[in-house]
Amino acid sequence: MKISLDELRAGAMTAESLKTAVRTLKECGFVVIEDVLPREWVNRIRQVCNETLLRYMGTLNPEKREAMQCIHTAMFPPICSPFTDAIAIENPFAVQVAEATIGRDFFCTFYNTNTQWPRSGIQHIHRDFDHLFPRFPVPLPVTQIIVNIPLVDFTPENGATEVWPGSHLIVDDLPEDGEALEERAEYFPSVRTTVTAGSIILRDMRTWHRGMPNQTPEIRTMLAMIYNCAFLNAYISATELIEIPRRTWEQLSPRAKHIFRHNPVVDKEPSLEGKAPPY
């Protein structure tokens, strides 16, 4: 969906736009808010992200590096600017939709990047998170939202993510192996998230999706944050917590501190080094 220039300047959607965004997220399993981040900022963070990613890949042994480049690479970004700029971690439009969907006390404990390399393969169809009560006969409301910020234009050629609208509402027993799930997914329509850099994709974590091959010579990278309903703090693993350098923490706004309140603040200097997620 597109928002108006007046909404962009105000940093807030109108009541009608917000209603549309929330309804789309709840019914389709994802919603795209187009062109809400300045291209200058996107270009700057893409350059820093790519430089950090290449340094990170250089720390891996050749076998692991090659394996990651065949599918995709996930990396925890450095917890400092520009990755902690307010426009990313507390984007007003993403926050507005999250608050209206999972409550004002939502929190974030997971922040990473996801990169499709040139000549990368296709990912298996999967959910990032299962239903809280898989045997319950009806789907429960959304409790986790992943916020993706594409740092390049997402196209069919560079691996725009494939998504199955409405699949977050499927509550019957799903096949556990990837091939069986892909056979089942053939009977459901899918779409590709072809969006411009600087757009925001909010997706229910239960929605079926997969990364697609990047057939271009350029890497395709995006940021990813998980916003959680407040009560899920009891279920979050300690391995998903982000260590936030105290200097970075002191520069965050009160709202950002509230969003990241469950993460440990540590006495170490910010560093432009990425690290592997805990999986």
Task: Enumerate the domain spans of the chain.
Answer: 26-266
Least confident stretch, 26-35, 66-75, 255-264: 66-75
Summarised one tens digit per residue, pLDDT across range 7-58 is 999 999 999 999 999 999 999 999 999 999 999 999 999 999 999 999 998 8
Does the pLDDT value for residue 279 go beyond 60? no
CA atoms within 13 A on the CB side of 172: 2
pLDDT at 235: 77
Rg of the chain, C-alpha, whole Å: 18
pTM of structure: 0.93
* 26-266 CATH: 2.60.120.620
- How many residues are recorded in the chain? 279
pLDDT at 136: 87
pLDDT at 174: 66
Q: Where are the beta strands (DSSP E) in 47-188?
A: 73-75, 107-116, 144-150, 162-163
Task: Give the amino acid at 276.
Answer: A
Average pLDDT score over the chain: 91
